[in-house]
């Protein structure tokens, strides 16, 4: 049984019921549906808690398990686990999730103002970074920052669409990341679009969580630009406020 990823249907879902469908050998909890994002694509898994009967169990993160399932990982020696078949309430740490959503969308915008192949990336609550296939560091960091914030201030709509594996194969230019390729084999691939048909600024495969409009990101600043190899530059983005 796969886990229904509620975060793909609505990234703003903070809580949801679920049934425990299994326990892993490592003590993680498998559920039939979940708002918890499972670690992947440079985005950390969600933390939060689950509740059943009169018990509460803190969740440190969520990870992917075999068969398309999501495993909720308890925080430390948190106590007894719910038995298989138990109905539970799940609640994510919303402040953490929303930070990830803002940063993840900001990194998509960074890939617009620096239109070069992406070789890696990482997301945290207050900052993120992308690695680019870039021989020389940008000469005018202030201009990049201004262009990034101009996209934020346009309050562009962020939406999703789905295409088939075959359509993605026919449009390889949609893939910006060199290090992590979109998953294939399920028959379809999720695309995240920033802007609409009249003012689209970005369209790329992504399974992460995003804000609904770029205006929710807030003002950004470009931080350090580090050399990470002959053809690699690491660019950090932070919230300015």
Instruction: Please say whether the beta carbons of 75 and 60 come within 8 A.
Output: yes
Give the bridge partners for 61, in sequence order.
73
Q: Measure the CA–CA gap between 69 and 83, rounded to whole angstroms.
A: 17
Instruction: Say what the pLDDT of residue 178 is.
Output: 54
Q: Name residue, tokens 């939406």.
A: 159
Number of domains in the chain: 2
Strands 29-31 and 15-23: antiparallel
- What confidence score (pLDDT) does residue 1 get? 77
Residues 86 and 112 in one domain: no
Q: What is the pLDDT of residue 194?
A: 97
- 78 & 141 share domain: no
Residues 171 and 127 in one domain: yes
- For residues 16-20, average pLDDT: 98
The whole-chain average pLDDT of the chain stands at 91
**End of a domain among 58, 92, 126?**
92
For residue 229, what pLDDT is reported? 83
pLDDT digits (tens, 9 = 90+) for 145-194: 999 999 999 999 999 988 777 777 777 777 766 555 555 556 788 889 99
Instruction: Return the structure tokens found at 193.
Output: 């679009």
Instruction: Give the CATH number, domain containing residue 80.
Output: 2.40.30.130
CATH of residue 142's domain is 3.30.980.10
Residue 76 belongs to what domain range?
4-92
Which pLDDT score is estimated for 218? 97
Residues 203 and 157 in one domain: yes
Residue 162 pLDDT: 84
- Condensed to tens digits (0 to 9), the pLDDT of residues 67-94 reads 999 999 999 877 789 999 999 999 999 9
According to the model, what pLDDT value does residue 181 have? Answer: 57
Question: What's the pLDDT tens digit per position in 124-147?
Answer: 999 999 999 998 888 899 999 999
Highest mean pLDDT range out of 33-37, 200-204, 228-232?
33-37
What is the percent of the chain with per-residue pLDDT over 70, rounded to a whole number?
Answer: 95
Joined tokens for residue 2: 């796969």
DSSP E strand stretches across 35-83: 48-52, 55-65, 69-74
50-68 pLDDT per residue, tens: 999 999 999 999 999 999 9
Choose between 229 and 103: higher pLDDT. 103
């Amino acid at each position: 049984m796969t886990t229904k990823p509620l975060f793909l249907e609505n990234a703003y879902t903070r809580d949801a019921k679920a049934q425990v469908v299994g326990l892993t050998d490592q003590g993680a909890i498998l559920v039939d549906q979940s708002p918890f994002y499972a670690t992947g694509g440079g985005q950390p898994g969600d933390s939060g808690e689950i509740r059943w009967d009169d018990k509460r169990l803190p969740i440190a993160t969520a990870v992917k398990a075999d068969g398309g399932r999501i495993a909720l990982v308890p925080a430390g020696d948190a106590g007894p686990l719910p038995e298989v078949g138990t109905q539970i309430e799940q609640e994510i740490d919303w402040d953490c999730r929303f930070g990830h959503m803002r940063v993840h969308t900001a990194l998509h915008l960074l890939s617009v103002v620096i239109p070069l192949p992406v070789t890696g990336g990482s997301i945290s609550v207050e900052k993120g970074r992308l690695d680019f296939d870039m021989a020389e560091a940008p000469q005018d960091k202030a201009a990049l920052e201004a262009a990034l914030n101009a996209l934020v201030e346009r309050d562009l709509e962020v939406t999703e669409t789905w295409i088939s594996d075959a359509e993605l194969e026919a449009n390889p230019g949609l893939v910006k990341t060199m290090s992590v390729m979109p998953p294939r084999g399920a028959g379809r691939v999720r695309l995240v679009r920033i802007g609409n048909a009249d003012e689209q600024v970005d369209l790329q495969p992504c399974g992460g969580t995003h804000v609904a409009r770029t205006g929710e990101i807030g003002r950004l600043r470009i931080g350090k630009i580090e050399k990470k190899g002959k053809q690699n530059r690491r660019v950090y983005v932070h919230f300015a406020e």
